[in-house]
Amino acid sequence: MVDVSEKVSTLRIAVAEGYIDMDAATLSVIKAGTASKGDVLGIARIAAIQAAKRTDTLIPLCHQIPISGLEVVWDFVGETRLQCHVTVRTQNVTGVEMEALTGVGIGLLTVYDMCKAIDRGMTIGGIRLIHKEGGRSGTWDRS
């Protein structure tokens, strides 16, 4: 594990995104809130938050980081794509990129789990960091 004891505590923010592609009928069920397992986006939001908060137990050598803010945003893209953005904030000596990425991944996997009975062909992809700020390296944006 990297020793971060000499680093300065600063506001750290990370934003990650990813998507899940599915049949148009499946996305319609999600939009209408009529999935047999319940509120897909609400439950997937909670899963994303829980996952981000537990990243240190899921990924070896990640630091345990107190998260001060976490936002999950779902966007419908066309008739077949659901996109997820997770923004994580902390005041700490190390960043929260892994927490944001983990939140996106688990959020999207939860959507898959809740809808797999109607669409086993869903595809998850594009999970990536799109923004980070804070710390010695400052601000970074995906071009």
pLDDT digits (tens, 9 = 90+) for 34-86: 999 999 999 999 999 999 999 999 999 999 999 999 999 999 999 999 999 99
Cα angle 74, 109, 123; round to 5: 85
User: How confident is residue 102, by pLDDT bands cut at 50, 70 and 90?
Assistant: very high
Q: What tokens does 124 get?
A: 């998850």
DSSP 40: H
Sign of the Cα torsion 26, 30, 34, 39 reads: positive
Tell me: pLDDT of 5 over 90.
Answer: no
Q: Which residues are identified as catalytic?
A: 113
Residue whose C-alpha is closest to residue 5's, from 95, 65, 94: 94
Alpha-carbon gap, residue 95 to 133, rounded angstroms: 8
Could you tell me the fold of the domain covering 10-141? Alpha-Beta Plaits (3.30.70)
User: How confident is residue 1, by pLDDT bands cut at 50, 70 and 90?
Assistant: confident
Mean pLDDT of 120-130: 98
Alpha-carbon gap, residue 44 to 111, rounded angstroms: 6
Sign of the Cα torsion 36, 39, 43, 48 reads: positive
Alpha-carbon gap, residue 135 to 133, rounded angstroms: 7
